[in-house]
Chains A and B, each alone.
Chain A
Amino acid sequence: MRQTRARELDTLNELFYVGTIGLFLGALFSAIGSKKAESAKVSLALSVVSCMSLLAFSAITLYYNEAISIPLYSIIPSLQFSFFIDRLAAFFILIISIVSLSVSIYSSGYIEHYKSTAKKNSLTSLMLVFILSMVLVVSSKNMFSFLFFWELMALSSFILVMFEYEKKETRKAGLFYFVMTQLSTVFLLLAFILIYNTTGSFEIAKMQLSASGISSIAFILLFLGFGIKAGIIPFHKWLPYAHPASPSNISALMSGIMIKVAIYGMMRFILFVLTPQLSWGIIIFTAGVISAILGVIYALKEHDIKRLLAYHSIENIGIILIGLGLYIIFSAYNLPELAMLGLIGALFHTMNHALFKSLLFTTAGSVVNATETKNIEEMGGLIKKMPYTAALFFIGAVSISALPPFNGFVSELMIFQALLSSSALANPLLEIFLIAGLAIFALTSALAAACFVKAFGITFLAVPRSHEAEKAKEASLPEILGSGILALSCVVLGVFSFQIFSLVGYSALIPNLFVVGALLAGFYAFAFAVMHAFASGNTRTGETWGCGILSQNPKMEYTASGFSEPIVTIFKSIYRTKKQNDRFYFDISQSVFRQGNAEIRLMKFFEERLYMPVARIAEFLSIKASEMQKSGLDAYIAYSFITIVALLILAGLSA
């Protein structure tokens, strides 16, 4: 019995090896064969196989709830790369492998838009390094390999963001991203040193920190470090810069899974290494609510389709944090069932967001390639030119708007359920706090629906608004196939959510959506049959009324700015839009207009009030530091002398 089990585990290990080594070889292949046109295709095929094997590996680990340890390589005895996969890690590997699988297929069509072979190959090679590093961060057993692969992930994604470096805005985005991602690492490094100092171990499983002042500091450092990478407001600014700048397959990976790796880190270290406190739960919950609502409100104003999606990532990270916060809060009040509902809601939303957001990014990438613009005001009518892409984007839009019976609904339902049951808490003030959060969360999800009516409606429906949109062609087969896998998983995870949760041992959390879906389909068919039998079957097509002008033209369509105008007006205090309108008249009764000027100024609140002041302080300090370096040799000798004296005094004092 034991032997068979051990053998089974060995096969599992092999699946993991096949996956990681396959990704590594794929990256190597297109890096070495960068001159040959076919290398990228071979690498992507390798990547597809590797992702499949990782998918199988993680699904089995998840199902059997088995923890697997894979020691691999040691540089010096105390610092070694070693890997350990438990259920949490397996869950994230599952997410990474399914998204990477689809994006790899998608990429084999997408990279054809780059003319140069070298570009195709380097994009592929870097992408595989990026995927591999994410898999290995999640499977890391100790802080050393965690940080090593975390940095590899940061660097490879930085180069990928800079991939179209010829454009000026890309260089700005890349720099912004680089600074933020390194800042995140600094916080993590500090937290890890702090934890190591207290526990004396680099092994994640052996690090246990009970409640104390130090653990609170560690929490703040970890929350900042992972929060920057996940894109929590106010550390979110890099997302709307980096996502539009990078190639669309990379945006799909970054938004779909890289920010989820930060969520993994947060769960791993805050829930398992530290001992969570009630106040941390409240902090996480509040950060989640703020990120969710501001993310969607900013998204409503965007007309750049990729930036719009980037803001929605911030919103969804907020929703995940709401679930995580609820877990900690309910745990502190010893309500394990509600706590579990929050945590599973958060985890499931992590998965769902990974799926529908990469679906939206890949389909948006196809659209951007077809129309040569990212501005949705110049699109329109694409549902006829690109019917498959439109249908796939539609599934993504319905899922992200949390509409039943798709997957986004299920995870939001769990979080809603947990919030609605907050009357179980024996703390009136906290209950009211959670209800306020509930109201804002509801607003968020309704605004998300509004935003995706805009995104889908303006992009795909009605008449093309530009010459490019008129000429748009359907995306290539691999692009549709890759996105199609993601869309299919969105539907399956929604409709069969009840069955899936029963399978892994968490039944009775949610209503059976299969019943609801079947009923909807049944009534749809019934209504269709009734109409076919009793109503007039005559149909006619005609032009839309052009308001009395001879024929209708694209200028009469509602625009994206028009669509979001009422919402922008209602929330104008959040956007901090400043409207100025000065008029001058010839006469005193103000009837003959002479001249005037009008100005609408959008304030980039976080950039102007948070990022720039910090940047200015940093700049000021570095100018001061560089002044010290300007002086000659004598000054340097003086510095050394002062340092030695200071060290001597220090040594004397401590002795």
Chain B
Amino acid sequence: MSASFIEYGILNIIFAVFVSPLFISMIKKVKALAQGRRGPSILQAYYNTFKLLKKETVYSTNSSWVMRTTPYVNMAVMCVAALFVPMILMPAPVSSIGNIILFLYLLALAKFFMALSGLDAGSTFGGMGSSREMTLSAIIEPVIIVVFAALAFAMKTTNMIEMFLGILKSGALFSNPVLILVSISLFIIIIVESARIPVDNPETHLELTMVHEAMILEQSGKNLAMMEWSHAIKQMLLMGILINILFPVGIATELTLAGIAVSALIFILKASVLSAIIGLFESSIAKSRLFHLPDLFMIAMFFSLATILIEVFA
């Protein structure tokens, strides 16, 4: 691993860790405005995190090391995953970081721990959350893999950073029309993976609707802060992938202070627009029944398969 990649890694991880909560509250704000409420401050997610860090951590008597390690594993995985998605600086590709499958399975590792921690306390809610989360993530998995296969077909590489570089180098906006099709599928994946309506409802604690929230119901204090924080990072990374595919323009390619600052501002701007779109999408649609979700996934599957058909026969 070269020195320049290490510089990139440190910058990218710091950016991901400290900016990610912003978009969580931004989506909340957009939803509140759409519903005619004033909504929380745009920095609310930061306030929540600091509040939780100061609180004591309560463990169930039933719980084991699974409960205690899960928050750290999640944070660690998200930090490593942040290396795969350049947001403010485009590095030169390296061999050990960037593999698409590795990225997806790192996220799966975090999810595996999270689902187990849901079962650890022995409460009904946690188990329900784990069960639903694992079901959803299983049936969305073929869609995700086909989306990335479509990208791999289009960009002729399985290294994410090489893909993004390729798209960036091709210059013009919408250089490859196929990418628009992939983006539709990717948007649905963001909705599913960041636990949003119609798949999940991040606002409620009602057993009928919650999935992700149910799993982390038994977490508290600093552990809850880490779970929510890592969730925010994950959402930001997924948004970063979509941004890098659709509008990569503006990302810095060389390490200069001014360049990085401009690039960071541009990314926050792009991601804010995407957050607004996600918020509006959530406001305009109702939570769907768990067993109707495969239909939504089929739509995503259709667009990514269409991409592959075009790539194969073109």
Residue ranges of A at the interface with B (Cβ–Cβ < 8 Å): 380-381, 383-384, 398, 401-404, 409, 412-413, 416-417, 419-421, 423, 428, 431-432, 435, 438-443, 445-447, 449-450, 452-454, 456-458, 460-463, 498, 508, 511-512, 515-516, 519-524, 526-528, 531, 534-536, 538-545, 547, 552, 554, 556-558, 562-567, 569-570
Contacts and interface: CB of A to CB of B under 8 A. Distances in A.
Given A461-B66, A515-B1, A524-B76, A531 B149 contact: no
Interface residues of B, number: 82
15 contacts: A404-B102, A413-B102, A428-B312, A457-B120, A515-B1, A519-B83, A520-B80, A536-B55, A536-B221, A539-B58, A542-B61, A544-B61, A558-B124, A558-B128, A564-B131
A527 to B, nearest CB: 4
A454 B127 CA distance: 9
Contacts of B106: 404, 516
Given A516-B80, A536-B55, A527 B61 contact: no
Interface stretch (B24-32, B111-119, B251-259): B111-119
B90 interface: no
A400 B145 CA distance: 19
Nearest to B142: A439
Contacts of A535: 53-54, 221-222, 225
A557 B120 CA distance: 10
Contacts of B61: 541-544
Given A449-B108, A567-B135, A543 B76 contact: no
Contacts of A413: 99, 101-102, 105
Contacts of A524: 72-73, 75-76
Nearest to A546: B123
Interface stretch (B150-158, B169-177, B188-196, B265-273): B150-158
Contacts of A381: 62
Contacts of A536: 53-57, 221-222
Nearest to A557: B122
Contacts of B138: 443, 446-447, 449-450, 567
B182 interface: no
Interface of B: 1, 53-62, 64-66, 72-73, 75-77, 79-80, 83, 95-102, 105-106, 108-109, 111-112, 115-116, 119-124, 126-128, 130-132, 134-135, 137-139, 141-146, 148-149, 152-153, 156, 158, 218, 221-222, 225-226, 290-291, 294, 301, 305, 308-309, 311-313
B127 A558 contact: yes
A511 B96 contact: yes
B115 A457 contact: yes
A445 B152 CA distance: 20
Contacts of B301: 439
Nearest to A456: B116
* Chain B CB within 10 Å, residue with most, of A402, A417, A420, A556: A420
B308 A435 contact: yes
A540 B127 contact: no
B116 A453 contact: yes
Contacts of B218: 544
Given A404-B105, A438-B146, A541-B61, A515 B96 contact: yes
B146 A435 contact: yes
Given A432-B309, A542-B61, A527 B72 contact: yes
Nearest to B148: A420
Contacts of A438: 145-146, 149
B251 to A, nearest CB: 23
A442 B130 CA distance: 20
A241 B112 CA distance: 29
A450 B134 contact: yes
Contact of A516 (B102, B124, B144): B102
Contacts of A558: 119, 124, 126-128, 130-131
Given A423-B311, A570-B135, A538 B72 contact: no
A343 to B, nearest CB: 18
B312 A423 contact: yes
A570 B135 CA distance: 9
Contacts of A428: 312-313
Contacts of A515: 1, 96-97
Q: Which 8 pairs of residues, A with B, have the shortest CB-CB distance?
A: A558-B127, A462-B122, A538-B56, A457-B119, A446-B141, A442-B145, A450-B134, A523-B76
A517 to B, nearest CB: 10
Contacts of B305: 435
Nearest to A415: B101
A419 B153 CA distance: 11
A404 B105 CA distance: 7
B62 A463 contact: yes
A543 B144 CA distance: 39
Contacts of B221: 535-536, 538-539
B224 to A, nearest CB: 11
A89 B60 CA distance: 52
Contacts of A567: 134-135, 138
Nearest to B311: A423
Contacts of A463: 62, 122
A561 to B, nearest CB: 10
Contacts of B72: 524, 527-528, 531
Nearest to B156: A423
A403 B116 contact: no
B226 A562 contact: no
Contacts of B128: 558, 562
Contacts of A520: 76-77, 80
Nearest to B218: A544
B116 A565 contact: no
A401 B105 CA distance: 10
B130 A453 contact: yes
A204 B309 CA distance: 44
A431 B305 CA distance: 12
A284 B256 CA distance: 54
Contacts of B144: 442
A17 B53 CA distance: 64
A377 to B, nearest CB: 13
B96 to A, nearest CB: 4
Nearest to B55: A536
Contacts of B62: 381, 461-463, 544, 552
Contact of A570 (B53, B60, B145, B291): B291
Contacts of A403: 105, 108-109, 112
A22 to B, nearest CB: 41
Contacts of A462: 62, 119-122
A527 B226 contact: yes
A512 B96 contact: yes
